[in-house]
Structure 1
């Protein structure tokens, strides 16, 4: 079993302060310590890593190439430590539990607030941490235990203990610039998008969703001309507003459209899963059970509407 090197953790924290302040004196003030011990600890860190982390001159301190290379990983490490400290404080303060939630942007706008309202009502001492993710990040994070539940675009079985419930579906529509000829139509045929550049949600963000939309286009006789691949529906609408093509989006996203973008329904009835709850059944958590119970109720309402 490897022993945690707390001295290294402290030294990395010091390295981050100096890297961000670009000055040993200011970094020492930020860390509530004097400068000589800070300088000494950075030197010890450099010796243990066998690399120079900073270039020092009369004009100040700047990162060396090696220091710049490790900075992103150290920054990510510091964020994880801060998250751990926050959870520990919440639990120590008497909170009854912590729930780590990941969600795509559209789910953060619609589904997650509804869940939080219900959880606050039933479990007033529960602490819920929400972070934005891409759909493709959900499964690895659930498997690793970094997330308890995820609200993503997911359709069909995943395996490895990951289970899911479709929570919301919506009719597919098209977002077009207000001055585009298609904006004059009350409904748009999919086939009419054959020669129009499209702004699509990136395949690397949500492979199943990208492949579904591509298959829909092909079934209507054309291969989509993808001009841009972006990370979210909100980005799709923003690109459309900048005249960068049109986008296939859920009809409910009309509430996000700016004044220069209109959402027109398709003539074809194509339904898409806009949010699904995913969780790891191999990791037992009573709070996850509560979320799944809530989700089953929401899914039942969706089926009733359908």
Structure 2
């Protein structure tokens, strides 16, 4: 049986934790402070834990409160997705598409694609959550997402299929003062003695392995100074003088003034975006997504003729 009282108490706990204030949380929730304080005390008694410490400096989580906060946040996120699914079903159409996407695809691949889908399927509701590439397959298997937009290629295991959406030529991001920065193209082997800011293998194993394999083919193993979670972070480290980075050539448009992006002499391509899905949980909108042009704007709506 669902304990709705506990769910409400956890929701109130999250509100206080995020506001770091009982009065601020009460205002956000549209309730007075005494009942909120009382409900948190009931939760503390039920859990046999002190969750907050109050002082003149404000409200702070105790170590116990901080320990349960991530799980409560995840639970609240799942409840929101459940509520959205219930609302869709109650409205007479279970046309909800949940997408997990890495940050780069949320900038360049998803906007036009989703605009086109919404134009052609007005009843479609799309929920997007940011993920790392390494999270894509587990989330597809668990059913937490219907589709993943991430750096994926190769064999992804049983029931997971994928198709590439975009690829780019590999380039190197260098400090503007670097001796190689003035070259129109840079040979990969000339980077053998450099220190790298690399995309973390934990975030995108296939992408990381493809870069390391390219370095090995040029006769060296990259010396990794920093492992980061996004290509934007790679460029940021380069700008701070913390090594160089192998990045997609299109990142040139995002590079700050103190960083240059030079293509490699070798014509090496990397997949920058792929779509993946669980074949055992095939979503009804999958074919529409796969056949929608990634970079094409949605069709213009016809204007009604004046009467």
**1:205 and 2:196 matched:** no
Q: For 1:33 and 1:109, how far apart are their aligned partners in 2?
A: 38
The answer to whether the Cα contact below 8 Å between 1:165 and 1:295 also exists between their aligned partners in 2 is no
Q: For 1:283 and 1:59, how far apart are their aligned partners in 2?
A: 50
Q: For 2:105 and 2:169, how far apart are their aligned partners in 1?
A: 16
In structure 2, the CA distance between the partners of 1:265 and 1:82, relative to structure 1 (3 Å rule), is: same
In structure 2, the CA distance between the partners of 1:51 and 1:254, relative to structure 1 (3 Å rule), is: same
The answer to whether the Cα contact below 8 Å between 1:165 and 1:296 also exists between their aligned partners in 2 is no
1:64 is matched with 62
Task: Kindly state the Cα deviation for residue 18 of structure 1 after the two structures are TM-superposed.
Answer: 3.2
Structure 2, unmatched stretches of 5+, are: 297-307
1:80-116 deviation line (CA, Å, top 9, x unaligned): 3334434545665677622111122222222112311
1:269 aligned counterpart, secondary structure: coil
Q: Pick from 125, 148, 151: which aligns with 1:150?
A: 148
Q: For 2:33 and 2:168, how far apart are their aligned partners in 1?
A: 59
1:40-84 deviation line (CA, Å, top 9, x unaligned): 332332222122223456876543322222123223322333344
Q: Pick from 104, 113, 125: which aligns with 2:102?
A: 104
1:288 is matched with 286
Q: For 1:157 and 1:108, how far apart are their aligned partners in 2?
A: 24
Q: CA RMSD in A?
A: 2.5
Q: For 1:34 and 1:282, how far apart are their aligned partners in 2?
A: 48
1:160 is matched with 158
Q: Pick from 243, 256, 259: which aligns with 1:258?
A: 256
2:29 is matched with 31
TM-score normalised to structure 2 length: 0.87
Q: For 2:153 and 2:9, how far apart are their aligned partners in 1?
A: 45
1:184 is matched with 182
The answer to whether the Cα contact below 8 Å between 2:185 and 2:262 also exists between their aligned partners in 1 is yes
1:74 is matched with 72
2:280 aligned counterpart, secondary structure: coil
Larger displacement relative to structure 2 (50-59 or 216-225): 50-59
TM-score normalised to structure 1 length: 0.87
2:106 aligned counterpart, secondary structure: helix
Paired residues, what number? 296
Task: Kindly state the Cα deviation for residue 262 of structure 1 after the two structures are TM-superposed.
Answer: 1.3
- Structure (1 or 2) with the greater helix fraction: 1
2:46 aligned counterpart, secondary structure: helix
In structure 2, the CA distance between the partners of 1:20 and 1:268, relative to structure 1 (3 Å rule), is: closer
Q: For 2:189 and 2:55, how far apart are their aligned partners in 1?
A: 64
Q: For 1:139 and 1:16, how far apart are their aligned partners in 2?
A: 29
1:271 is matched with 269
Larger displacement relative to structure 2 (264-273 or 84-93): 84-93
2:281 aligned counterpart, secondary structure: coil
1:189-225 deviation line (CA, Å, top 9, x unaligned): 1110001111110010001111111111111111101
Q: For 2:54 and 2:184, how far apart are their aligned partners in 1?
A: 66
In structure 2, the CA distance between the partners of 1:56 and 1:178, relative to structure 1 (3 Å rule), is: closer
2:12 is matched with 14
1:167-178 pair list within 5 angstroms:
167-178=165-176
1:183 aligned counterpart, secondary structure: coil
In structure 2, the CA distance between the partners of 1:114 and 1:35, relative to structure 1 (3 Å rule), is: closer
